[in-house]
């Protein structure tokens, strides 16, 4: 690659980086306190439906083996 082509590629690359950074710098953001509160709220709302968190009875979990029944 001639040095002229190489430098114009580098400039094109740098221009793309500047363009990308402009987009990222201008997005709207919220405070971490608000974001954290929302994450916590989601967890607490859904906790009761989370089988791995709450543990579910053996009889309801298809992966936990049920004790064999004996018919007398």
Partner 1 sequence: MAAQEVAAQPSDTLATLKTESETLKTKLEEERAKLHDVELHQVAEKIEALGQFVMKTRRTLKGHGNKVLCMDWCKDKRRIVSSSQDGKVIVWDAFTTNKEHAVTMPCTWVMACAYAPSGCAVACGGLDNKCSVYPLSLDKNENLAAKKKSVAMHTNYLSACCFTNSDMQILTSSGDGTCALWDVESGQMLQSFHGHAADVLCLDLAPSETGNTFVSGGCDKKACVWDMRTGQCVQSFETHESDINSVRYYPSGDAFASGSDDATCRLYDLRADREVAIYSKESIIFGASSVDFSLSGRLLFGGYNDYTINVWDVLKGTRVSILFGHENRVSTLRVSPDGTAFCSGSWDHTLRIWA
Give the C-alpha distances (Å, rounded to integers) separating 7 from 3, 19, 64: 6, 18, 63
Site for partner 1 in 11-70 (CB under 8 A): 11, 14-15, 17-27, 29-40, 42-47, 49-53, 55-56, 61-65
Distance in Å, CB of 6 to partner 1, minimum? 11
CA 47 to chain centre: 18
Select 28 or 69, whichever has its Cβ closest to partner 1: 28
Distance in Å, CB of 5 to partner 1, minimum? 14
- Tallying the residues shown for the chain, one arrives at 72
Check residue 50 and give left, alpha or beta (phi > 0: left; psi -120 to 50: alpha).
Answer: beta
Footprint on this chain of partner 1 (rule: CB under 8 A) = 7, 10-11, 14-15, 17-27, 29-40, 42-47, 49-53, 55-56, 61-65
């Amino acid at each position: 690659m001639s040095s002229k082509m190489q430098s114009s590629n580098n400039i094109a690359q740098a221009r793309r980086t500047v363009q990308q950074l402009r987009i990222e710098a201008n997005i709207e953001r919220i405070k971490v306190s608000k974001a954290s509160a929302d994450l916590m709220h989601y967890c607490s709302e859904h906790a009761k439906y989370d089988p791995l968190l709450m543990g579910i009875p053996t009889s309801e979990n298809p992966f936990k083996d049920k004790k064999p029944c004996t018919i007398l």
